[in-house]
A and B are shown apart, each in its own frame.
Chain A
């Protein structure tokens, strides 16, 4: 396993269409995160999973956004009725909680760049 992978790397869609992104974390990692990064900004947290449970969601995650991690392995992020403001890089990261340690390193994927026309 060479790292976190994301598919597709680029997605161009028309406003109003639905899009789905996939993230495959590092195989032994039980935690998975989604972030959104717009031009000139740092990544913004969207949501996080521990195994298959979605434990935290940002206010940025409107009802048009939904994320799943059904078997505790890969995750999907779906955006319904896309808007031009959804154009951004969507980053996935994973980490492995070891014992009671905190502040674990998050390993990031290459991202999916979404352009909404």
Chain B
């Protein structure tokens, strides 16, 4: 079974600094998608960034970038120039593509606090 592990339940960062959120996953598949979703307090979950497993180039979206290490099954998220609005729960998620499954498998999440 596919599993996603986020080993750090909480992290904090100073405003304008850089923080890295870690995620590892377990799968026997070779083709899949990985996501980072953000869930602000009392607000709905939104997509931060997406990575396709067959692409070696790490995805980047403005201040957000990933370090995708397929052999190590690691998928970390780097947030540069942290802003107060980045404070939220962050979830790493895996989407298998083989077998036609459309589900997302989520980690337990990590609470990010941004200090002014």
Residues of A within 8 A of B (CB): 3-4, 31, 33, 35, 40-45, 48, 50, 55-56, 58, 91, 95, 102-103, 105-111
Judging by beta carbons under 8 Å apart, are B45 and A108 in contact?
Answer: yes
Q: Which residues of A contact B91 (CB under 8 A)?
A: 42-43
Contacts A40-B108, A42-B108, A103-B52 known; A48 to B44 CB distance under 8 Å? Answer: no
Interface: B16 (CB within 8 A): no
6 A-B residue contacts at CB 8 Å? A4-B44, A42-B108, A103-B33, A108-B46, A110-B44, A111-B44
Q: Which residues of A contact B105 (CB under 8 A)?
A: 45
Residue ID in chain A nearest B99 by CB atoms: A56
Judging by beta carbons under 8 Å apart, are B103 and A48 in contact?
Answer: yes
Q: Which of B4, B45, B105 has the most CB of A within 10 A?
A: B45
Q: Which residues of B contact A33 (CB under 8 A)?
A: 102-104
Q: Which residues of B contact A50 (CB under 8 A)?
A: 102
Residue ID in chain A nearest B43 by CB atoms: A110
